Structure 1
Amino acid sequence: MLKFLDAGESHGKALIAILDGMPSNFNINIDTINKELKRRQMGYGRGKRMEIEKDTVEFLSGLRGTKTTGNPITMIIKNKDYENWKNIITEEPKSSEKIVVPRPGHGDLVGYFKYGTGDIRDSIERTSARETAIRTAIGALCKQVLKNIGIEIRSKVHSMGNLFDQDVNLFDNEVYNKIDNSVVRCYNEKVEKSFIKKIDICKEQGETIGGCVFISIKGVPIGIGSYSQWNRKLDGILSYAVMSVQGVKAIEFGNSMDLSLRGTTFNDEIIYEDKKIKRSTNNCGGIEAGVSNGENIEFKAYVKPIPSVKKNMKTINLKTRGEVLTRYERSDVSAVVPASIVLENVVAFEILKEILNKFPSDEFYELKRNINYYRDTVYKR
């Protein structure tokens, strides 16, 4: 079974992960993983932390050269900002240095009471979205494996606040190149300017802004996931992963929130065309009864505004219980653009995990043979 654990604090020495269950004999392109990490750091509305960090991954185990051995893979991303924070991170804080003013919307308050360390700093370090850097590295490796078995994952920013980009086919390469070259990862040039202006206004006002990310996954064969048990449903598995990403508050598969659709217009009619079983629409987002149906798996993830705002908000001092104004800690104006990259990679891990559950394989070419045979024969049943 493919699984991982990750560790590390936002301003600690490094982020680290151990990935277990990766098939052997897969040749990893480390440069591609680093390019994915760079994609995560880019985008309009990012804060000054990204001017410090230049994320690259180092492999400590599980590879011989650039080829997987089947052993657990250890990955590490060092934090350059650690040098500026090492005294704060490594030393026991004095009573006067402890943070006791929680920011609304963060994990500050709940972490303070759950773990009882007496310093919100301990919660900040692990709840930070900095953790998504190592998850992106894990997913970037999984994306490489998926691409080599005919599965590709792409994304775009669908909305920024109440502004929306148009719907496009992400697997039109010309279209997708345009999206990837946009600083806000949208297609329409007029919308791009509106997104940028909206972010600029929020920055001037001391505000932050949320939005929506659209993900499309092409090439997942019919039959991944299961309805036999509640915890094996593919949409449930993907939802769990997506909702675990910092700032994501909702997920919508296909057009499930379009209240104008009725039973006969929402459900995707089954057709036989060009000697293939297809759907005339994809309102269900490629998943029915918790199982992939062969169409693109598509969903929208809704990202809330970042809680760290310069504009004053009411909170309390946890020691005195007196009302105070919230404090500000360095952050982005919007996390929507980087979230699109993070989510691509987070779901890559989950898709590969479910592929390996369906086609257990210790070696990559065994996996490739098994899935290719399945694709060739499944519709002959």
Structure 2
Amino acid sequence: MLRFLTAGESHGRALVVIVEGLPAGLEVTVADIQEELARRRLGYGRGPRMRFEVDEVTLQSGVRHGRTLGSPVAVQVANTEWDRNPDKWQREMSVAAEDGPTRIPLTQPRPGHADLAGMQKYGFVDSRDVLERASARETAARVVAGTLAKLWLATLGVDIVSHVVRIGAVAASPGPPPALADLERIDADEVRCGDPVASAAMVAEIKDAAKEGDSLGGIVEIVAHGVPVGLGSHVHWDRKLDALLAGALMSIQAVKAVEIGDGWDVAGRRGSAAHDPITWDAEAQVYRRTSTRAGGLEGGMTSGEPVIARVAMKPLASLNRPVLGTVDVLTKAETVSFKERTDVTAVPAMGVVAETMVALVLADEVARKFGGDTVAETRRNRDGYLAALRDGPLG
């Protein structure tokens, strides 16, 4: 199956990702990866690091002459700050024992961050031993892996888009799920919101929070179009696709809630208004749902409709005006958490990361369902499956 592993720290030399399970013959370029990494840097309210740090991508293995070989793909994303500020980060994050410690330890853990629990778990007295790996910078490596998954899914007609539907107290007006054709317009918006009126209000909300040195969370909607019916399974708890998607999306830093389709709202409705009626499209010879309440998933399996999920991100735990109470782990004195360079909000970027996680889960299920050692073989297997659906007893 498709799997990936990331390594690296936020201010270390580089992030590294290894992706295993991609078929041979998938066309991949560094430009494809850099384009997606650039999307991850989008959004009003990001910190200065997004402006001066460049993601330097190196395809290390698994690709020859622009095509995957079927072997593991290894990619490095260099940290340009490593060379730009060697006196700070090359010593601070050195792997050599003789180079440390180089600074006063960070002993005032931030509420809402991994700091204290990680320090207790591993016996650290310096929060940097935890925060460097817990940092959302790690998602750059995930975006690399997700780019490869997206490229594979695109060969099967599957496209994934995201858009911001809420930042702080400002919510976008309800509307139809965006399609791939809408993505350029969404990415061009300051907060990646398709509602211009809400977008302007979101920017104002971010500006207000920035003046206070505070942070904002929000909600992003992810939509996967062209997903064939039958991915996932109803027969085992750990094969249900909605559970896999929820777990993957919850793994994103600062994400605290995930809903599929109408999610929480469905719980307050009667059954007659909670499900998606089924119709038969005689022209296309497929079953359709007349609504998207289930988010394209029924019984742990895709229904053939767009897969829709919403992801809620809490306000970032690092504040530009530290006011959150904490305790110094060495002195036990009450104090406020330390200040680490941060964003006012990262919700627009989180949407790109969420696309990544959805792509990786769907690609893994494609590998499980259709198999294939090459892109062409996977496509043939998919086509044969869809033909069997049309020609079978339910077609």
Answer yes or no: same fold by TM over 0.5. Answer: yes
Output aligned runs, 1:260-339, within 5 Å.
260-273=268-281, 274=283, 275-309=285-319, 310-339=321-350
Unmatched segments (≥5 aa) in structure 2: none
User: Aligned pair 1:343/2:354, yes or no?
Assistant: yes
Displacement of 1:34: 0.8
Query: For the aligned residues, what is the CA RMSD?
Result: 1.4
What's 2:50 paired with? 50
Superposition deviation, residue 168 in structure 1: 3.3
Aligned partners of 1:166 and 1:187 also within 8 Å: no
- Structure 1 ranges of 4+ moved more than 2 A: 166-178, 273-276
Letter in 2 for 1:132: T
* Percentage identity across paired residues of the two chains: 37
Residues 109 and 157 of structure 1, relative CA distance in 2, 3 Å threshold: same
Alignment match of 2:100 (pick from 92, 105, 109): 92
SS at match of 2:121: helix
1:375, 1:289 → 2: CA distance?
Answer: 20
1:59 aligns with 2:69: no
> Matches of 1:48 and 1:21 in 2, distance apart?
36
Name the aligned partner's letter for residue 88 of structure 1: E
1:20 maps to what in 2? 20
2:224 equivalent in structure 1 = 217
Say whether the 8 Å CA contact 2:145–2:360 is kept in structure 1.
yes
Find the aligned partners of 1:172 and 1:92 in 2 and give their Cα distance: 51
Aligned counterparts of 1:176 and 1:62: Cα–Cα separation in 2: 29
Q: Is the 8 A contact 2:160 2:180 kept in 1?
A: no
CA deviations on 1:65-97 (whole Å, 9 max, x unpaired) are 111111111100000112321111113216x71
Deviation at 1:173, TM superposition (A): 5.7
Moved more, 251-260 or 19-28: 251-260
Deviation at 1:323, TM superposition (A): 0.4
Q: How does 1:1-381 map to 2 (within 5 A)?
A: 1-83=1-83, 84=85, 85-90=89-94, 91-93=99-101, 97-172=104-179, 175-258=182-265, 259-273=267-281, 274=283, 275-309=285-319, 310-381=321-392
Contiguous gaps of at least 5 residues in structure 1? none
Distance 1:211 1:36, change over 3 A: same
Contact kept in structure 1, 2:14 and 2:79, CA below 8 Å: yes
Aligned partners of 1:154 and 1:331: how far apart in 2? 26
Deviation at 1:156, TM superposition (A): 0.2
Quote how far apart the aligned CAs of 1:374 are: 1.3
Secondary structure, aligned partner of 2:312: strand
How far off is 1:363 after superposition? 1.1
TM, length-normalised to structure 2: 0.93
**Distance across 2 between alignment mates of 1:329 and 1:293:** 45
CA separation in 1, counterparts of 2:390 and 2:167? 41
TM-superposed CA distance for 1:136, in Å, is 0.3
Letter in 2 for 1:19: V
Q: CA deviation at 1:256?
A: 1.9
